[in-house]
Every structure is written in C-alpha cells, then in structure tokens.
A and B are shown apart, each in its own frame.
Chain A
Amino acid sequence: MNREITVNVCMGTGGIAAGAESVMKALREEFDAAGIKDASIRENCKLHKVGCRGFCARDVLMDITIDGETSTYQYIEEKMVKRLVKEHVIGGKPVTEWMVGDDYHTFHDNQEKIVLHDLGKIDPESIDDYLGVDGYKAARKAVAEMTPADVIRTIKDSGLRGRGGGGFPAGVKWSFCAANEADQRYIICNADEGDPGAFMDRSVIEGNPHAVIEGMIVGAYAIGASLGYVYIRAEYPLAVSRLHMALDHARERGFLGEKLFGTDFSFDIKVKLGAGAFVCGEETALIASIEGERGMPRAKPPFPANKGLWGKPTIINNVETLANVPPIINKGAEWFSSIGSEKSTGTKVIALTGKIRNTGLIEIPMGMTLKEIIYDIGGGIENDRLFKAVQTGGPSGGCIPQQYIDLPVHYEGLQSVGSMMGSGGMVVLDETDCMVAIAKFFLTFTQEESCGKCVPCRIGTKRLLEILTRITEGEGRKGDIELLQELAEDVRDSSLCGLGMSAPNPVISTIKYFRHEYEAHINQKKCPAKTCNKLLTFFIREHHCVGCGMCMRACAVSAITGDKKQPHVIDQDKCIKCGSCFDACKFNAVLKE
C-alpha cells in the first residue's frame, strides 16, 4: 500500500457554519482508528483544510484524491465520515451517491480563475502550500530583478483596474504616487468590505492570504513604501486571524522585514481593524479611520496618492486588485490583457447570490453576459420562479431588468444601464421581490451609513427614504415619483463623496425600469409583487383551512378566530398586516392580495 492520498475539507466561513470543524475532527479520529497512522501510508496521506472554493451552498465540501484521481463530495456531515474513510480512503471505491452532480461541474467549468485559482486547493494557514504554487515568486522577481518603473509599466500595460468599485487603472494610480517627492509613502489594502451582498474579499483573505500580502509587497516596491496597512472589518474574525498568521509566517521566512530578497528594500505590514462604518470604504474616510478619527471623507483633490495617510503619498488598493498583481508579474501584462474585454481586462470575482439555484463566489472573464452568469453558472432561478432583475454594485449600484439579460458584465457595460460593478456583488431578484421595497432597503442602509458631513447626503437620503417609506405603506402621493427623481439627481450631483453620489442609484434605476410598480403603489395602492404588507389584505381560504389554530396562535393582535377543526376567519378591522399568519400556515390557506 503506497498510495498518495489527499483529503481536502473546505473550511471557509461557509464550510465552518455547515459543520466543517466536526467533519475534520471525525476524519482525524477515523484515520487514527483505521491505523492510517501507519508509517508507510502516513507519509503519503495528507489531511488538508482549504479555503472557500465558492460553492458554499453545498458545504461541507470535501475532495478525496487518490493517486491523482479526485472525487468531490457535497453536503458532508460528521456522521458520513466513517463510511467515506472505510469505503473510499481504505477501500478505494468512491461513495457515488454523495458525490457532486453535473451542476457542480457546470458551476466551475464556465469560470476563469486567476484570483480564486488556488482557493480550495491550498491550506491558507500554511506558507509552504503557497510556496508550492509559485508563491512569492512574483515578489522576488519584482524586487530583485525589476526596477520600480518596470513594475508600474507592467501593471499599466496589463490594464488592471481597481476592483473595489471605481475601476481606476491601478498602474496609473501607482505612477501618480511614485511621482511625488516624499520621505515616506504608504500602501493600504482596503479589506473593509462593507457592501451588503459582497464577500469576495473575505473569501480571498480566508482562502489565500499570502496572495494579498505578495501583491502588497510588489505594490510597495513599485511606489517606494516601507510600511503598509491592511484595513479589515472586525466582523470577519476568521479572515483577521488567518491574515495575522500569514503575516507572521511571511516575516519568519524573510518575505517581510528588512532588506528583502537581498536588496535594500524593506517593507512590513500592520493590521488595522475597522470599527464598523460603511463610509470607511471611501479612501479619505479610511485614512481618517486609520489615523484614529471619525471616518469622514474630505474633499478631493488632493488625492491620497499625493497626500494621504499622515499627509504622505498613499496608495489604497482593494484586496482583489492586489491579489491580481502576483499573477500579472509572473505571467506578464500581455497574458492578462488578453483575458476579458478591451477596456476591462482580466477577470472579476463576483458574489452571486439571491434567488438563484447555485449561489456562491465565482470568477468570470470580464465581458461575460448576465445570462451566462445567471443561467449557465447560477443554474437559473430558484423554485422555477420568473427572473425579474439583478442588482449589482451593492447600495451604490442599480437594478438591471430582464431586457438587458444579454448585457456584457464589465465596467462600461454595467454603467451604460445605470448600474455599476461596485465590488462585484450580484443579487438576483425574482417575481416576488418588490422593486420599491428594494430601493427602500438600500436607502435605509445608505441613510444609516451616511457620515453626516455634507448636507445633500445627510438630509437628502433621509428625505428619499421618507418618500419611499410612505409609498410602500400606501401613503404615496401624486407627484412623488417626480419628486424622487429630482431629489435623487440633486443628491447625486452635490454630495461630497462616493457614498452620497451613488446612494440614489437604486432609486433612479428602479424608477427607470420599474416605474409601473411605483405607480401601482401610489395610484392603485397595490404591491404587484405582494411584499409590501401594508398594501395587502390577508384572508383565509375556507376550503383549505383545516382549523389547526397555528395562525391564531401566531397572531399578535388576536385578529383570528375560529373553532378547532373549523375554518378560521381574520377580522380585517383588527389585522395589522404583519404577515405572521401567512408564515405560520402550513396548508397554504392564508392568502394575501
């Protein structure tokens, strides 16, 4: 018995939530019990924890590879481990009924992975694993063999654009910073992923933290920075601990610290925990936060590349942007720019979520159409409902309707229909989602997160939200749509920073494409998607009601009456339209209209 056996268990946040830790523990115990401790096998048998491979909806995912032959299993639980070890690891026969199906492969086969390439394959807590996939080769090449100007030229030529939302060419930004006379420069990695519906930065740091560190080393060398910061959300405890571990390992191996790769270049990285403010994703606000102040943006120029942290030239790059840097240095600008479209090169990591069958983290070449993403990778709409819209770019983006399903996904494409790439969140909405309520949801968020410094954003978002709220509650007035449009444009045009400038986008785009829904709410006092409870009437269908009393117990205002095993009735005068009875009924007897 001298087989090469590798078992990989997905241990990102998704995997751990699904019970990966107990699966891992069970595997260790089974291995011990089966005597796989035995030296001849032990040397060739590896049990790995790996980062997220994107398909978290199927967690716990596990690969068993024997002599190069890989079988992938899905929905693995602790109790299934015994059989897997006995039949597959020892017996050599895969347990076919637990293996992933074709949809797992179509989900992956339609992607093109640069940033996510090694996620799910390497152990994020092992620097040797990263070195095994050419880790730190790009840093060595850049620092020891290239001049800073060469590095900047390579990144410029690759066409890499900022992946955090703005899409500004990274190489150009670096060259601005390098052009300043200064005794000190800084590079900051923005991992303050605040967009609801986006988790690419978390997954990349959890799954391959060294790639981000390596990108920062290359960037720091290019602009001449000796100190870098990672500004990361405190809400991501696993990512924070893996990042700290990776930094320690990198220091031990001499990839961070004094005189790197035998040159005079020195560089180290500090971690700063964000304290929970969405506006800190904005560059100048982020800098204020690192300095320990309230995270409020300031007017630009001067741009941070000229005057940033502690008044020194500073480059701020997003996690995904930095993770793209090592492959570009290794494989060259031409290789990178051959992927994607002319103006948007490379790939984009997208958090594909919402009412879709295959949710998860994907990476696509820029320019792939929405249709390919939603149907080929995403597997179509959940529960066979109808596709309605896809929301991209988080609270700063917009909703794209059915008629643009063939739209290519890249910076220009999304902008042309009034949305944006943002950090790459994509939330698919179906016929049961009310677009007015979606706009209201985003405004609730931006209104809360507005820092309050400038008037248009502070008061404008508040007023927008008030109007949207009254529309969803049946108090909408004639002229409200026009008022929303006018106010939205004012907020967009006069706010100080990106948060305020983009906050009205959800309103503008939903009015543009779903005006009829606004009109139905205002004129007919109806919610076509049946989600705005205040505009609905709840009643019980006599023939479907079995008189179980579930709805009666769920009702907080005792509006439901009825005898046991007899049809129940809702008293419309008492009903507060909370929807509890609808959720409680197991027989579809409660209707809302």
Chain B
Amino acid sequence: MEKQMEETLESIYQKSVAHGDNIITVLQDMQNELGYIQEEAVYWFAKRANIPASQFYGVATFYSQFHLNPRGKHIVTVCSGTVCHVKGAQRIVSKLKEELKLKGDQQTTKDMAFTLENVNCVGACSIAPVVLVNDKVFGKQSPDKMVKNIKPYKE
C-alpha cells in the first residue's frame, strides 16, 4: 500500500476512535478520501481496528451510497422517482447512454470521464424530470436538453 493512502486511513482511524464513529461513518470518510471503497483499504482498516472485513462489506453492500468500483470524474445522476418516471426519465437515460457510449449495464465511460447513475428521488419533483451533474441540479429536462447540458463537462 502507498504511504499516502496509509496515512489517510490512519487519520480516519484516529478520528473514528476519538469520535466513537461507527462503520457507516468510517466507510463514508473512506469513500470521500479515496473516491470509492477499495478492497485494500478495507482489509487494512479491518486489521487496524480489529473488526472482521466482512462487517465492512456487509454494510458497504447494503447501502446504495457506497461504491465498490472506481467512478468517473463527473457523476451524472438521473432521478428515477415517481414523477420523473411518469415525465420520461427513462428516455433521458437512454439518450445519455447513447451519448456517452455506454453499453448494457456499463455505468462508467472508458476514459473515466463520466459515470451514469440513477437515484430513487432527489425530492425536486415539482421541476421533474431532474438530472444532477455532480452537485448541480438541472430541472425540467428533456433528452435533447440534457445532451446540451453535459457538453461543457466533456472537456
């Protein structure tokens, strides 16, 4: 393991001891620092804290917030809540997949520039359909509008 990563993990460990953090908080910190939940990091942490790695994986695979694979630079999240669904979110997903050249279940583009995900509801139903690019909310979208809106992120 790289020294820098070990230092990061050690500081998360120290913080977790000081604050009495639970596994969810540790995983949230880990993901914030490393981008996703890395196998190497989990085993290092399990050993350091003397908690079986299976417990970390049990939690990490339960919650949709945790990612076990590396993600792209920009995260495009299409809301698939009820209202977005009836207002055509699925068509936006199809168009974005075509635009980003994603096949089948593939979520992240080959160049690691984009990851396309969906979320159950962002609670912005009155401006449905909604798409998030990173933290920016785009309301009242259509497939064509969205193609334009992700253009600036392609550089």
* A residues with CB within 8 A of B: 13-14, 16-18, 55-57, 59, 193-199, 201-203, 234-237, 273, 275-278, 289, 291-295, 351, 353-355, 359-361, 391, 394, 425, 427, 429, 433, 438, 441-442, 445, 449, 451, 556, 578-580, 583
Most A CB atoms within 10 A — which of B21, B121, B130, B138?
B121
Q: Cα distance A351–B127 when bound, in Å?
A: 12
- CB neighbours of B127 from chain A (8 A): 14, 17-18, 56-57, 59
22 A-B interface contacts by CB (under 8 A): A13-B123, A18-B127, A18-B139, A56-B126, A57-B126, A59-B127, A196-B82, A234-B28, A235-B122, A275-B28, A275-B66, A294-B62, A353-B128, A354-B83, A359-B126, A361-B126, A427-B83, A429-B86, A438-B86, A441-B82, A580-B94, A583-B91
Can you add 19 more A-B contacts, CB < 8 Å, to A197-B82, A293-B23?
A13-B137, A55-B126, A56-B126, A194-B120, A195-B121, A196-B85, A196-B121, A198-B121, A235-B123, A273-B28, A276-B63, A276-B64, A277-B64, A292-B59, A294-B58, A354-B82, A361-B126, A394-B82, A429-B86
Contact flag A292-B22 (CB < 8 Å), given A17-B138, A275-B28, A425-B82? yes
* B residues with CB within 8 A of A: 21-25, 27-28, 58-59, 62-66, 80-83, 85-86, 91, 94, 98, 119-128, 130, 135, 137-139, 143
Q: Are A194 and B121 in contact (CB under 8 A)?
A: yes
- CB neighbours of A193 from chain B (8 A): 123
Contact flag A197-B126 (CB < 8 Å), given A293-B59, A294-B58? no
Q: Cα distance A121–B11 when bound, in Å?
A: 43
Which residue of chain B has the shortest Cβ distance to A233 in the bound complex? Answer: B123
Most A CB atoms within 10 A — which of B121, B123, B124, B127?
B123
- CB neighbours of B22 from chain A (8 A): 291-293
What is the CB-to-nearest-CB distance from B128 to chain A, in angstroms, rounded to a whole number?
7
Q: Please provide the 5 A-B residue pairs with the shortest distance between their CB atoms, ordered closest to farther.
A: A292-B22, A196-B81, A199-B123, A275-B63, A276-B64
- CB neighbours of A394 from chain B (8 A): 82
Q: Cα distance A578–B98 when bound, in Å?
A: 13
Which residue of chain B has the shortest Cβ distance to A275 in the bound complex? Answer: B63
Which residue of chain A has the shortest Cβ distance to B80 in the bound complex? Answer: A196
- CB neighbours of A59 from chain B (8 A): 127
Most B CB atoms within 10 A — which of A193, A355, A427, A556?
A427
Q: Are A16 and B137 in contact (CB under 8 A)?
A: yes
What is the CB-to-nearest-CB distance from B65 to chain A, in angstroms, rounded to a whole number?
4
Contact flag A278-B66 (CB < 8 Å), given A16-B137, A56-B126, A355-B86? no
Q: Are B124 and A234 in contact (CB under 8 A)?
A: no
Q: Are A197 and B59 in contact (CB under 8 A)?
A: no
Q: Are A359 and B63 in contact (CB under 8 A)?
A: no
Contact flag A235-B119 (CB < 8 Å), given A275-B66, A294-B59? yes
**Among candidates B66, B86, B123, residue contacting A202 with C-beta atoms closer than 8 Å:** B123
Which residue of chain A has the shortest Cβ distance to B77 in the bound complex? Answer: A235
- CB neighbours of B81 from chain A (8 A): 196-197
Which residue of chain A has the shortest Cβ distance to B22 in the bound complex? Answer: A292
- CB neighbours of A202 from chain B (8 A): 123
**Among candidates B94, B121, B139, residue contacting A14 with C-beta atoms closer than 8 Å:** B139
Most A CB atoms within 10 A — which of B82, B128, B139?
B82
**Among candidates A196, A427, A556, residue contacting B120 with C-beta atoms closer than 8 Å:** A196
Which residue of chain A has the shortest Cβ distance to B85 in the bound complex? Answer: A441
- CB neighbours of A353 from chain B (8 A): 82-83, 125-126, 128
- CB neighbours of A291 from chain B (8 A): 22
What is the CB-to-nearest-CB distance from B14 to chain A, in angstroms, rounded to a whole number?
18
**Among candidates A14, A237, A580, residue contacting B124 with C-beta atoms closer than 8 Å:** A14
- CB neighbours of B125 from chain A (8 A): 197-199, 351, 353, 359, 425, 427
Q: Are A17 and B124 in contact (CB under 8 A)?
A: yes
Q: Cα distance A289–B22 when bound, in Å?
A: 10
What is the CB-to-nearest-CB distance from A239 to chain B, in angstroms, rounded to a whole number?
9
Q: Are B123 and A198 in contact (CB under 8 A)?
A: yes
Q: Cα distance A451–B63 when bound, in Å?
A: 10
What is the CB-to-nearest-CB distance from A450 to chain B, in angstroms, rounded to a whole number?
12
- CB neighbours of A361 from chain B (8 A): 126
What is the CB-to-nearest-CB distance from B58 to chain A, in angstroms, rounded to a whole number?
6
- CB neighbours of B98 from chain A (8 A): 556
What is the CB-to-nearest-CB distance from B79 to chain A, in angstroms, rounded to a whole number?
8
- CB neighbours of B85 from chain A (8 A): 196, 441
Which residue of chain B has the shortest Cβ distance to A438 in the bound complex? Answer: B86
Contact flag A391-B124 (CB < 8 Å), given A18-B139, A273-B28, A295-B62? no
- CB neighbours of B86 from chain A (8 A): 354-355, 427, 429, 433, 438
**Among candidates B27, B62, B119, B120, residue contacting A451 with C-beta atoms closer than 8 Å:** B62
- CB neighbours of A429 from chain B (8 A): 86
Q: Cα distance A59–B121 when bound, in Å?
A: 20
